[in-house]
Amino acid sequence: PLVNTREMFKKAYEGKYAIGAFNVNNMEIIQGIVDAAAEEKSGLILQVSAGARKYANPIYLRKLVEAAIEDKDIDIALHLDHGESFEICKQCIDDGFTSVMFDGSALSFEENIRITKQVVEYAHARNVTVEAELGKLAGVEDDVNVKAEDATYTDPAQAVEFVERTGVDSLAIAIGTSHGAYKFKGEPQLDFERLEKISSLLPGYPLVLHGASSVMQEYVQMCNEYGGSIPGAKGVPEEMLARAAKLGVCKINVDTDLRLAMTAAVRKFLIENPSVFDPRKYLGPARDAIKEVVQHKIKDVFGSSDSI
């Protein structure tokens, strides 16, 4: 069934694993992810960004997720990713989302608290859970482009105050991850000391990692080998994600890895089969690649297999 994230996160926290939150934009992406989660008997978060809503038309995504629920016997939370205003959060709640993120990370502390509280109040009255963000990630999102020097790591004391004053259900923190395929210039590094500090100040509380793709090199190489050009792409090593999952991180966001896998599969197929023009012939392998990536994450990295 469609569920909010409350029970999922409680179990994830206690079991020291994380639930994968995967961005969806079309049918093949949803099918690949849901297939993997069903085979692994894992809880799942499907998340929709404002860009995804604009691309697909919100109703198509919602109906595809409803189809997935009917097709497979798993728990899925339908989540708004990076909601920029109270209004978009409200819209998604009214549309049947079970979870929303209000991203006030670009606002002042007080303004972030004010709107987060407003979203929490509206959401909780409708059994919807809310994620907020404190601190700024570097990197590229749809409309926001935060330069590395403008990124600020989450302050542990502020995180506690933020959670207490807003009643928000989960908190995305900045400890060195970033959105997109170019996360580190040199060696990958996350501020685990900060994560441990925040986690110890908020016992039992679910934290969220955005920008957590590992930028799997096999797919980067496949893209580059078959006509692509994404040199120097680098992500968060899997060991770091597994470690974070044991330190209170209950939700790990992945979009870039799905994009890379899908694109690699399509590139490879089209180069190897220049005379084929049936979209099912290249979207099929793309869907298989998505499934493989998600299954690997769930089973080998996040540890959420057999959680339902």
255 sits near ligand 13P (criterion: CB under 6 A): yes
CB of 47 to Zn ion, least distance (A): 9
Neighbours of 103 (CB within 10 A): 27
Residue 175 CA to residue 210 CA, distance in Å, equals 10
CB of 47 to ligand 13P, least distance (A): 7
Instruction: Please state, in angstroms and as integers, the Cα–Cα distance from residue 116 to each residue in 3, 163, 256, 267, following that order.
Output: 21, 10, 27, 42
Helix ranges (DSSP H) in the chain: 6-15, 27-40, 50-56, 58-71, 86-94, 109-124, 156-166, 192-201, 217-225, 238-245, 256-272, 279-296
- One of 4, 31, 42, 49 touching ligand G3H (CB under 6 A): 49
Q: Crossing angle for the helix pair 27-40 and 58-71, nearest 10 degrees?
A: 30
How is residue 256 written in tokens?
């870039």
252 binding partner (options Zn ion, ligand 13P, Na ion, none; Cβ < 5 to 8 Å by kind): none
Pick the catalytic residue from 35, 75, 81, 255.
81
How is residue 86 written in tokens?
């109270």
Q: Which CB, 138 or 233, lies closer to Zn ion?
A: 138
180 binding partner (options ligand 13P, Na ion, Zn ion, none; Cβ < 5 to 8 Å by kind): ligand 13P
Close Cβ partners of 303 (under 8 Å, ≥ 6 residues apart) = 15, 16, 17, 18, 242, 245
Residue 17 CA to residue 88 CA, distance in Å, equals 30
Judge contact between 298 and 307, C-beta under 8 A. no
213 binding partner (options Zn ion, Na ion, ligand 13P, none; Cβ < 5 to 8 Å by kind): ligand 13P
Helix ranges (DSSP H) in 144-254: 156-166, 192-201, 217-225, 238-245
92 sits near ligand G3H (criterion: CB under 6 A): no
Task: From 237, 242, 240, select the one nearest 298 (Cα to Cα).
Answer: 242
Instruction: Please give the residues from 160 up to 199 whose contact with ligand G3H meets the rule CB under 6 A.
Output: 179
Are β-strands 129-134 and 170-173 bridged in parallel, bridged antiparallel, or unpaired?
parallel
Q: Which CB, 81 or 155, lies closer to ligand 13P?
A: 81
250 binding partner (options ligand G3H, Zn ion, Na ion, none; Cβ < 5 to 8 Å by kind): Na ion
105 sits near ligand 13P (criterion: CB under 6 A): no
CB of 144 to ligand G3H, least distance (A): 9
Q: Which stretch binds ligand G3H (CB under 6 A): 27-35, 48-56, 68-76, 121-129?
A: 48-56
81 is catalytic: yes
133 sits near ligand G3H (criterion: CB under 6 A): no
- One of 7, 39, 95, 142 touching ligand G3H (CB under 6 A): 142
Q: Which stretch binds Zn ion (CB under 5 A): 3-11, 62-70, 208-216, 241-249?
A: 208-216
Task: Give me the 201-230 binding string for ligand 13P, x by CB under 6 A, dash otherwise.
Answer: ---------xxxx-----------------
The angle subtended at Cα 228 by Cα 227 and Cα 229, nearest 5°, is 130
Task: Give me the 235-274 binding string for ligand G3H, x by CB under 6 A, dash otherwise.
Answer: --------------------x-------------------
Residues of this chain that bind Na ion (CB under 5 A): 12, 18, 245, 250
Q: Which residues are catalytic?
A: 81
